[in-house]
């Protein structure tokens, strides 16, 4: 995204489990923490130990920010949280802790505890409207069903979001790789390219546009570049 995430907007991160949605959200949060901005991170699907270990493994240690209170990690059991309690925790983080970034990771686990999907849509509409009016940068994470091929979700929250970032697995050269693309952005400009990204001890790295592939978003792309580049020495052995 050329202009980054704007204050008072909601960003939806969508993709299969394990594609790096939480790591992308942590990268945004860590950058805000380094600027001295308080952040509130709600965790539904993992333990706090796993979140902290993942962040440290990407060169983003959180302990100092947790100790100072600049970062609040809140582990949530969706089966024990009412819709009103979720809204109250977010409001407390904004009004009392002065959070500038709010992350909900993820809506999938919370959705499973809701009696109907429509409850989640209505509640997230209310919460995102409140956070946008307060000038908060909000990141919502939502997992797709399946890992490759046709993707779908239990609920459509794209229309509530100002920005939609899609992460996908795709197969190429006998490897499982990751691709990221910005599908929608209401404020400012954004790239329409699909780029490969990697996660390592150095953090998140976004590579060049995958302009030699088509069908990346299907999970089974076709390669249109030079055959030597794709096959390497195997071509000469054929």
- Residue-wise pLDDT for 86-136, tens only, equals 889 999 999 999 999 999 998 877 776 666 667 778 888 899 999 999 999
* CA neighbor of 6 nearest in space, from 129, 137, 140: 137
The answer to whether the beta carbons of residues 210 and 173 sit under 8 Å apart is: no
**Amino acid 72: pLDDT:** 97
Q: Decide which of 190 and 2 is more confident.
A: 190
Q: Which of 38, 26, 199 is nearest to 105 (CA)?
A: 26
**Which two structure tokens, joined as six digits, stand for 145?**
């069903």
Question: pTM of this prediction?
Answer: 0.85
Q: What would the two tokens of residue 185 be? A: 């952005």
Q: Name the more confident of 2 and 56.
A: 56
Q: How many CA within 13 A on the CB side of residue 230?
A: 14
Kindly indicate the confidence band of residue 146, based on its pLDDT and cuts at 50, 70 and 90: low
Closest to 65 measured CA to CA, from 101, 91, 12, 18: 101
DSSP 8-state class, residue 152: B
pLDDT single digits (tens) 207-220: 989 988 888 877 67
- Residues 179-183 have a mean pLDDT of 92
- pLDDT value of residue 106: 84
Joined together, the tokens standing for residue 12 give 């939806």
DSSP 8-state secondary structure symbol assigned to residue 8 = T
pLDDT tens for 14-36 read 998 889 999 999 999 999 999 99
Is pLDDT of 180 > 80? yes
CATH code, residues 10-237:
3.40.50.300
Comparison of pLDDT for 8 and 212, the residue scoring more: 8
CB 104 within 8 Å of CB 140: yes
Contact call for residues 7 and 135 (beta carbons, < 8 A): yes
Residue 154 pLDDT level (bands cut at 50, 70, 90): low
The CA-atom distances, in angstroms, between 124 and each of 13, 105, 131, 173, 208 are 14, 13, 10, 40, 34
């Amino acid at each position: 995204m050329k202009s980054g995430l704007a204050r008072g907007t909601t960003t939806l991160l969508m993709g299969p489990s394990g594609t790096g949605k939480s790591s992308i959200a942590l990268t945004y949060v860590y950058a805000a923490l380094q600027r001295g901005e308080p952040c509130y991170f709600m965790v539904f699907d993992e333990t706090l130990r796993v979140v902290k270990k993942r962040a440290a493994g990407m060169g983003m240690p959180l302990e100092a920010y947790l100790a100072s209170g600049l970062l609040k990690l809140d582990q949530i059991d969706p089966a024990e949280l009412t819709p009103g309690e979720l809204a109250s925790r977010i409001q407390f983080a904004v009004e009392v802790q002065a959070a500038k970034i709010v992350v909900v990771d993820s809506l999938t686990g919370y959705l499973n505890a809701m009696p109907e999907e429509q409850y989640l849509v209505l509640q997230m509409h209310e919460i995102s409207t409140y956070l946008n009016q307060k000038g908060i940068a909000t990141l919502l994470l939502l997992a797709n069903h399946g890992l490759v091929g046709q993707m779908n979700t239990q609920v459509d929250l794209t229309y509530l979001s100002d920005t939609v970032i899609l992460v996908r697995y795709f197969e190429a050269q006998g490897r499982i790789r990751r691709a990221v693309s910005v599908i929608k952005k209401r404020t400012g400009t954004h790239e329409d390219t699909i780029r490969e990204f990697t996660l390592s001890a150095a953090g998140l790295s976004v590579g060049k546009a995958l302009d030699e592939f088509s069908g990346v978003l299907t999970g089974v792309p076709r390669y249109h570049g030079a055959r030597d580049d794709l096959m390497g020495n195997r071509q000469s052995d054929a």
